[in-house]
Chains A and B, each alone.
Chain A
Amino acid sequence: MEAVISKFESADQRTAPQRTGVTVRAREGRLYHGLLTAAALVAPAILVLFVGVLVYGAWPSIRAFGLSFLTSSVWEPHPEREQYGALPFIVGTLISAVLALCLAAPFGIAVATFLNEVLTSRWRSAARFLIEVLATIPSVVYGLWGIFVLAPWVSNTLQPVLARSLGFLPIFGPPYEPRNMFCAVLILAIMVLPIIVSISLEAIRAVPASYREAALGLGATRWEMIRVAVWPACGSAFAGGCILALGRALGETMAVTMVIGNGRRISPSLFAASDTVASTIANQFAEAPSDLFTAALIEMALLLFLVTLAVNVLARWIIRPSLPGAGGRS
């Protein structure tokens, strides 16, 4: 900011011979300075205010339950024995987001590699456009598709096959609900795919041509070149992209709410109805029966906010070394 101001002033002195012109322009410079500073401070102020309001709203719940809020799975709104524990929702959020990432990450990196290394540039931009369109579909549309196409397919086709062949594993065992964690994982995986593809593609494109030429010059096949020269140079970008995708998956609300079944229990089975923090807040907030219930929901919002904040900070920290200009970390 200081540098900007001094630039303004030195420019004034050079181009404005009259005194009055100088003071007017200097005043204008200060005005701009003030406006820009104010605008720059508003964003962090909103963030701080946000956390403050959440902590204030969650305080009755924090005081009543303390750490047991994180470890208890009792969600009892009965007025005589109110008690809230967010464990099933926290577990549901983490499982759905992490599994979705496990599905989407290898697939997304493979897609990005294919787009850059195999397709010609014309087809690449067309394919890329289509993948990025996935990111613009509103999540309620994903949810509707989930209810009418994905969930029936999972419960009528996929689930019986998995139950018959791998039903001895608890994750494919009973209970079998028609809306379940499995549907949520699949839909989240599709939703975060564009993020992973975009970031991976940028990273792969940024790998200097000399790396590829060196690998090919040493007699590597195209596959060996990708494996030896391209991917290692993109490691941190891949990781950063995945973590950004994780942040998105953790906070996704609408589509998940519509297919996950909203069952407030922890079950080893992927075919059991489960719930996430975001979908519980969306479902219950408008009709919260008591002040403590509302406070418990706000505390869950605070948790979700802190987790996504941490995930995004982590992503920035990982992704930074491979941004253009900073050079690869190979």
Chain B
Amino acid sequence: MQLIIRLWLIVLLTVAVGCDGNGGDTGESGSPVRLTGAGATFPKPLYEKWAAQYARMHPNVVINYQGIGSGGGIKQITEKTVDFGATDSPMTDSQLQKAEGELLHIPMVLGAVVPVYNLPQVKRPLVFSGPVLADLFLGKITRWNDAALVTLNPDAGLPDRPITIVHRSDGSGTTFIFTDYLSKVSPAWESGPGRGTTVNWPVGRGAKGNDGVAADVKQNEGSLGYVELIYAANNNIAYGSVVNAAGKAVRASADSVSAAASLKDIPEDLRVSITNAPGDSAYPISGLTWILLYQQQADAAKGKALVDFLWWATHEGQAMAAPLHYAPIPAALLPHIEAKLRSVTSGGKPLVSQ
């Protein structure tokens, strides 16, 4: 009995001392500014690299990012349990109304969603079109040698075997970009499953996460799925080109994705969809990923560190995007981002250093 009581005391003391230690180093003046963010998993590798690089240049700023998913990021910034959120699908109007205060969407980087398939006998990348992709995921096209696919790929030697569809089993910004595109190019898709981070899939099986879909497609011959470009590239899975709005078959790359975001009219709140973008070189299934922050920052020191970090990430930081298979923000978008960052205030004073 005494032993148990002693163990209890040891545990209690350890916890108490531990808490005290944490409380101590944030309370001092001139101590490091800790920024916490949470949200989308897709940009996580880049955000972590940015955070590490930024900490090297500014040792007093510590940035901690948790990839818990876009939905979680929106929830946490709405409840103000983090300093910034991150999402691949822009917040809806009703979601924005729930937040206490004005939330800003800052585009950070761009990504592409690519159709991935497993057909060992097909050597050259296949070409898909929007309507054909919609029919595939609606279950209207069920075999690889369907006339619609052969018309797009006359010389590919498509085999006579069934297509099995793989989609995400969890909610995802990747799914939002993909279904947003399908809704724009196929009326049947728009009135059917529609767009969303999770939809009512008519056919196929589900796999969790981009890596889950990539692994499933890689393992099972005849499968067709969709993943972020970085996962197709890293896992060495065949991915197809997609015919864009201008009628050209375009393969996803940093250039073709940036081209999709070079829009003429950009909405004031930067919640812009860049799927099915015009332009000969634009890759049609492209998307932005945003960081969410409040326009009025409660804590001036934290707010300033956050705005300076975002300014750096959207300028110098963009050079780190391409090696990780992300596409940098196009020049057309940058003035809009700068204006947004300048509008962030704390106690009525603008925070940005530039």
Partner-B contacts on A (CB < 8 A): 74-80, 147, 151-152, 155, 176-179, 257, 261-264, 273, 275, 283-284, 286-289
Partner of A262 from B169, B193, B215, B220 at Cβ < 8 Å: B169
Asked if residues B70 and A273 are in contact (CB atoms below 8 Å), the reply is no
Q: Does B278 contact A (CB under 8 A)?
A: no
Asked if residues B219 and A76 are in contact (CB atoms below 8 Å), the reply is no
Asked if residues A179 and B172 are in contact (CB atoms below 8 Å), the reply is no
Beyond contacts A257-B208, A289-B71: 11 other A-B pairs, Cβ-Cβ < 8 A, are A80-B194, A177-B205, A178-B216, A178-B223, A261-B206, A262-B205, A262-B208, A283-B208, A284-B171, A286-B72, A287-B171
Known: A78-B200, A178-B219, A284-B170. A262 touches B206 (CB 8 A): yes
Q: Does B13 contact A (CB under 8 A)?
A: no
Interface centre among A77, A257, A262, A286 (most CB of B within 10 A): A262
Partner of A288 from B71, B162, B216 at Cβ < 8 Å: B71
Asked if residues B69 and A286 are in contact (CB atoms below 8 Å), the reply is yes
Partner of B71 from A147, A176, A264, A286 at Cβ < 8 Å: A286
Asked if residues B206 and A273 are in contact (CB atoms below 8 Å), the reply is yes
Q: Does B138 contact A (CB under 8 A)?
A: no
Which residues of chain A come closer than 8 Å to B69, judged between CB atoms?
A: 286-287
Beta-carbon contacts under 8 Å, B198-237 to A = 198-201, 204-208, 215-216, 219-220, 223
Q: Does B131 contact A (CB under 8 A)?
A: no
Partner of B170 from A177, A261, A283 at Cβ < 8 Å: A283
> Chain B's interface: helix, strand, loop or mixed, by majority?
loop
- Tell me, in angstroms, the Cα distance from A287 to B92 when the chains sit together: 15
Min CB distance B136 to A, Å, is: 15
- Tell me, in angstroms, the Cα distance from A130 to B70 when the chains sit together: 44
- Tell me, in angstroms, the Cα distance from A257 to B205 when the chains sit together: 11
- Tell me, in angstroms, the Cα distance from A67 to B92 when the chains sit together: 31
Partner-A contacts on B (CB < 8 A): 68-72, 92, 162, 164, 169-172, 193-194, 196-201, 204-208, 215-216, 219-220, 223
> Chain A's interface: helix, strand, loop or mixed, by majority?
loop
Which residues of chain B come closer than 8 Å to A257, judged between CB atoms?
A: 169, 208
Min CB distance B208 to A, Å, is: 6
Min CB distance A300 to B, Å, is: 15
Min CB distance A78 to B, Å, is: 5
Asked if residues A264 and B201 are in contact (CB atoms below 8 Å), the reply is yes
Asked if residues A79 and B71 are in contact (CB atoms below 8 Å), the reply is no
Closest chain B residue to A152 by CB distance?
B219
Asked if residues A77 and B205 are in contact (CB atoms below 8 Å), the reply is no
Min CB distance A49 to B, Å, is: 23
Partner of B205 from A80, A261, A288 at Cβ < 8 Å: A261
Known: A78-B193, A179-B205, A261-B205. A284 touches B198 (CB 8 A): yes
Partner of A287 from B70, B193, B199, B205 at Cβ < 8 Å: B70
- Tell me, in angstroms, the Cα distance from A152 to B70 when the chains sit together: 33
Asked if residues A74 and B200 are in contact (CB atoms below 8 Å), the reply is yes
Asked if residues B219 and A147 are in contact (CB atoms below 8 Å), the reply is yes
Which residues of chain A come closer than 8 Å to B68, judged between CB atoms?
A: 286
The 3 closest A-B pairs by CB, nearest first: A287-B171, A262-B206, A273-B205
- Tell me, in angstroms, the Cα distance from A147 to B196 when the chains sit together: 28
Which residues of chain B come closer than 8 Å to A152, judged between CB atoms?
A: 219
Which residues of chain B come closer than 8 Å to A155, judged between CB atoms?
A: 220
Which residues of chain B come closer than 8 Å to A273, judged between CB atoms?
A: 204-206
Which residues of chain B come closer than 8 Å to A151, judged between CB atoms?
A: 219
Closest chain A residue to B75 by CB distance?
A288
Min CB distance A68 to B, Å, is: 16
- Tell me, in angstroms, the Cα distance from A79 to B176 when the chains sit together: 13
- A selection of 18 A-B contacts at a CB cut-off of 8 Å is A78-B196, A78-B199, A178-B164, A179-B220, A261-B205, A262-B208, A263-B206, A264-B200, A273-B205, A273-B206, A283-B170, A283-B206, A283-B208, A284-B170, A286-B71, A286-B171, A287-B72, A287-B172
- Tell me, in angstroms, the Cα distance from A147 to B207 when the chains sit together: 11
Asked if residues B219 and A287 are in contact (CB atoms below 8 Å), the reply is no
Asked if residues A263 and B205 are in contact (CB atoms below 8 Å), the reply is yes
Asked if residues B204 and A287 are in contact (CB atoms below 8 Å), the reply is no
Asked if residues B201 and A177 are in contact (CB atoms below 8 Å), the reply is no
Which residues of chain B come closer than 8 Å to A76, judged between CB atoms?
A: 200
Asked if residues B216 and A179 are in contact (CB atoms below 8 Å), the reply is yes
Which residues of chain B come closer than 8 Å to A176, judged between CB atoms?
A: 162
Min CB distance B260 to A, Å, is: 25
Closest chain A residue to B194 by CB distance?
A78
- Tell me, in angstroms, the Cα distance from A318 to B4 when the chains sit together: 37
